[in-house]
Amino acid sequence: MIPETNKIYEGNCIEIMRKWDDNSIDHCIADPPYNISNRKGLSWAFSKHITIEEKWDSFTREEYIEFTREWLSEVHRVVKPNGNIFIFGSYHNIYDIGYIVNEMDLKIVNSIVWFKPNAQPNITCRMFTESTEYIIWVCNENKNKAKNWTFNYEISKMLNGNKQMRNVWTIPYPSKKERSYGKHPSQKPIELISRIILIATNKNDIILDCFSGSGTTGVVAQSYGRKWIMIEKNPEYNEIARERLKNVHLEYPKQLVDTELDLVYKE
């Protein structure tokens, strides 16, 4: 079947995507579980920082690899050839994900380092403060056949003071305002998702987010006239996403004039 656009599907993304036609999506942004919840570490009980202690984030390594193979194979099938796939991760899971992308012989266009200047401090003082996450930019085609992936070069420059954009992005955690619709432990900043959507997709493209959490992808896609499809298994997170979508309001990028990008952006 053809998936419906501008709709949140509630449930397991692997089972849901299995029902969809091949090549029915233009691009995908995937922010899968990081597989860090079951690791023993320091308690943050006295910290105001959020830690991830969620059931959705607990796998053995073998389970995680198998889970990644399954969802990524479905994404590969439903996304059109040469569509963009952006996959988020931290050092805990990004190497396993990269291994599977290579196993599937897909083209890696770039990796992006997201530097969080306001990352939480390391209270052990025995290592560096972990303040980066990674995004693998994949073109949905075999390495030697990949071509013509969407990259809006002029927009990337415009978003970067008219200079060529580098692959290290300094963007703080979501502001209080962005998080005011409810708590999600790994909500992504609007600014970060905006960069991806403006640079790597075009108006009216269909963007899938198969682990949509608080709905950041849908909020940004809606703001910039893209179609979106989100899948999230937790009804509480979907409630947050629905509230955010009711109030789509974008402050980024401030330096762009609306008409330059023909933004459809409403409160």
Closest contact distance (angstroms) between CB of 213 and ligand SAM is 3
- Residues 41-80, one symbol each (x = binds ligand SAM by CB under 6 A, - = not), give ---------------x------------------------
Closest contact distance (angstroms) between CB of 261 and ligand SAM is 22
Residues 104-133 that bind ligand SAM (CB under 6 A): none
DSSP sequence for 226-242: -EEEEEES-HHHHHHHH
- Residues 11-30, one symbol each (x = binds ligand SAM by CB under 6 A, - = not), give -xxx----------------
Q: Is 102 helix (H, G, I), strand (E, B) or coil?
A: helix
**CA 92 to chain CA mean position, Å:** 16
CB-based closest residue to ligand SAM: 213
Total residues contacting ligand SAM by CB under 6 A comes to 20
Residue 87 binds to ligand SAM (criterion: CB under 6 A): no
Taking CA 30 as the corner, what is the angle to CA 25 and CA 34, rounded to the nearest 5 degrees?
A: 160
Closest contact distance (angstroms) between CB of 90 and ligand SAM is 10
Segment (H or E) for 77: helix 61-78
DSSP 192: H
Residue 89 binds to ligand SAM (criterion: CB under 6 A): no
CB nearer to ligand SAM: pick between 64 and 141: 64
Quote the strand ranges of the chain, DSSP E.
7-10, 27-30, 84-89, 106-115, 132-142, 168-170, 206-209, 227-232
Task: Report the residue from 68, 140, 216, 223 that binds ligand SAM according to the rule CB under 6 A.
Answer: 216
By the 8 A CB rule, do 132 and 115 touch?
Answer: yes
CA atoms within 13 A on the CB side of 249: 9
CB nearer to ligand SAM: pick between 206 and 210: 210
CB nearer to ligand SAM: pick between 70 and 109: 70
Residue 209: closest CA among 84, 52, 47: 84
Residue 229 binds to ligand SAM (criterion: CB under 6 A): no
Task: Report the residue from 24, 93, 214, 238 that binds ligand SAM according to the rule CB under 6 A.
Answer: 214
In the chain the first and final C-alpha atoms are separated, in Å, by 33
CB nearer to ligand SAM: pick between 3 and 213: 213
Residue 215: closest CA among 185, 245, 189, 192: 245
Residues that bind ligand SAM (CB under 6 A): 12-14, 31, 33, 56, 184, 186-188, 211-214, 216, 231-234, 237
